[in-house]
A and B are shown apart, each in its own frame.
Chain A
Amino acid sequence: MKKITTPLNKNIIKSLKAGDEVLLSGIIYTARDQAHKKIVELIKNNKKMPFDLNGQVIYYCGPTATPKGKVIGSCGPTTANRMDGFVEPLLKTGVIAMIGKGGRARFVKDIIRKYKAIYFIAPSGCGALLAKKVLSKKLVGFKYLGPEAIYELQVKDFPLVVAIDSKGNDIYGKKGQGARVRGQERKEKR
């Protein structure tokens, strides 16, 4: 089990391979559907970002409300492929890693390879377990979006698996999106 800490640099990312299990500590930023739409609008119009995207990790997540006495509520990953169309502008602006759940379109793998970025998956449907790995939560942008706002999370030993590495290798096989059918992978290797 590899332990990695933010800020992630290109060397750390290069050393990680699809299928590797890692524990991430440091700062990550939540952003899902509507926040992505807004960020890309801001990029297009050359407007100021709510936070500096350069070198950052984006977590596709919309947490529940925060229960009394807790740092954060349930906070697992959401389906990543809904954000596929937003990946390139974000990586171009300097985002270096994404965390979500599920496979991604083929073109996303090409973009990840182009920018030498990385896509991790977090335990899906395990938002209570992941809440225990969050040390602090701070609102940094788009407050009116409620659970879809951007939050800065400080995490410790956040469990992740590398789903697409910087070379474009994908644990879900060439199809990415679909099921990994038994025997299919062997066929692909031939």
Chain B
Amino acid sequence: MNLRKEIEAGVAQANFVLRSDVLCLLKKAYSAEKNSKAKKALGWILDNAAIAKEEKIAICQDTGLPVIFIDVGKDVEISSSIVKDIEDAVACGYMNNYLRPSIVDPLRRGKSSYHGAISHVHFLANIKGMKITIFPKGFGSENKSRLKMFNPTAKVEEIEDFIINSVKEAGPASCPPFVIGVGVGGTSDCALLLAKRALLGKIDKPNKDKFSNDLEMRLLKKINALGIGPMGFGGRCTALAVKVKTASTHIAGLPVGVNISCHALRSASIDIKNV
């Protein structure tokens, strides 16, 4: 297998073809919507996905800051240079598919480029082979990320209020209906990374952990009661799904990270069996 070609194809897949789980929930939301303006907005979103796929135009002009998750299984030996190779292939994929160079020096700003993806390499004992996920993260929603370090004695309701308020603050500008990623536990950086990872699982499937699943369902109901709706037009659907991931934490703390995705939640994975 030609890794470079596979990655370039993954970049195209992520940016041109909306994930099937996201599309499925958008279609459900469209059918259930009674508010005519909100229904129209959902119709635009579905038409947009069809045009993007058909014509190979990016779903959104904000083709994001590419976040790359490189999960390495127990049977794999890799050289550290593979990270740079993967990042280079992603940059090439962006350029060759006419996507937007949206990456700049944070203080000097200046001319934007395709180079500077964010990579996370994780060695995991519970998988075999290697999985590379390309996650173009748009900044209309990334700008609304939140972190709060709760007291360990905080009630679950306080955490729920914090998450709901984060969605409220995101408001119409961050392209609702959203998908809400929540990370609970670990350290501050870990909570935010978990929140981002939460967006990568199938959003139309229930969480296997019952406690987290109940929390997701309660949050989804409360968030949809906010009535922000598609493009901020009101209606039933402010979020398509809420996804929670947890990790062990310190006895003195309870970090909670919120990472919001716009309705154009895009990602593509490449599974490599033999490295």
Contact = CB atoms under 8 A, between A and B. Distances in A.
A132 B76 CA distance: 46
B232 A64 contact: no
Contact of A73 (B98, B172, B232): B98
Interface string B65-109: 000000000000000000000000000000101111110000001
Contact of B231 (A67, A78, A124, A181): A124
A125 to B, nearest CB: 4
Given A73-B61, A128-B58, A179-B226, A78 B140 contact: yes
A125 B264 contact: yes
Interface of A, helix, strand, loop or mixed by DSSP: loop
Contacts of A144: 111
A81 B228 CA distance: 17
A146 B111 contact: yes
A67 B51 CA distance: 14
Interface residues of B, number: 53
B103 to A, nearest CB: 11
A34 B101 contact: no
Contacts of B228: 179-180
B60 A103 contact: no
Interface string A77-90: 01111000000000
Q: How large is the interface on A (under 10, 10 to 19, 20 to 34, 35 or more residues)?
A: 35 or more
B172 A182 contact: no
B44 interface: yes
Contact of A181 (B97, B138, B226): B226
Interface in A58-74: 61-68, 70, 73-74
Nearest to B138: A125
A50 interface: no
B84 to A, nearest CB: 24
A146 B112 contact: yes
B172 A128 contact: no
A67 B63 CA distance: 14
Contacts of B234: 180
Contacts of A127: 48, 57-62
A61 to B, nearest CB: 7
Contacts, number: 163
B174 interface: yes
A101 B173 contact: yes
A132 B44 CA distance: 13
Interface string A17-41: 0010100000000000010000000
A76 B61 CA distance: 6
Nearest to B223: A179
A178 B169 contact: yes
B34 to A, nearest CB: 14
Given A129-B47, A180-B234, A147 B102 contact: yes
A177 interface: yes
A182 to B, nearest CB: 4
B168 interface: yes
14 contacts: A64-B99, A65-B98, A65-B99, A66-B98, A74-B61, A78-B62, A101-B175, A102-B171, A125-B48, A129-B48, A131-B57, A147-B112, A161-B231, A179-B232
Interface of A: 19, 21, 34, 61-68, 70, 73-76, 78-81, 101-103, 121, 123-129, 131-132, 144-148, 159, 161, 171-172, 177-182
Interface of B: 37, 40-41, 44-45, 47-49, 51-52, 55-63, 95, 97-102, 109, 111-112, 138, 140, 143, 167-169, 171-175, 225-229, 231-234, 238, 262-264
